[in-house]
């Protein structure tokens, strides 16, 4: 009886370690891919909150020749409000 319990615990531990190791590898792979995208210019930084977002999925605003990318509509709106305040001051 005790042998079955020890064997069951051992099998559970091995499965747990395999699962956790797989999750760690996939998380490390995602970090490497994100770093690669940032290095190649596929990722851009939101000027409001500092979050890095994929350039293709980012929300953009064109101000003359300059294109600014945002992670969300809230950040975009904060940026537009800030631009409006700057124009009023000038």
**48-65 pLDDT, tens per residue?**
998 888 888 889 998 888
25 vs 29: CA distance, rounded Å: 6
Note the pLDDT of residue 41: 67
Cα 39 to the chain's mean position, in Å?
15
Residue-averaged pLDDT of the chain: 85
Q: Are residues 60 and 69 in contact, defined by beta-carbon separation less than 8 angstroms?
A: yes
pLDDT digits (tens, 9 = 90+) for 18-28: 787 777 888 88
DSSP per position, 10-70 = HHHHHHHHHHHHHHHHHHHHHHHHHHHHHHHTSEEE-TTT--EEETTTSEEEEETTEEEEE
What count of residues does the chain have? 90
């Amino acid at each position: 009886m005790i042998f079955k319990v020890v064997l069951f615990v051992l099998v559970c531990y091995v499965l747990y370690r395999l699962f956790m190791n797989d999750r760690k590898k996939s998380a490390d792979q995602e970090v490497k891919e994100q770093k690669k995208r940032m290095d190649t210019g596929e990722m851009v930084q939101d000027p409001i909150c500092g979050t890095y977002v994929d350039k293709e999925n980012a929300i953009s605003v064109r101000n003359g020749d300059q294109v600014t990318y945002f992670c969300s509509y809230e950040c975009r709106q904060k940026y537009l409000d800030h631009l409006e305040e700057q124009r009023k001051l000038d």
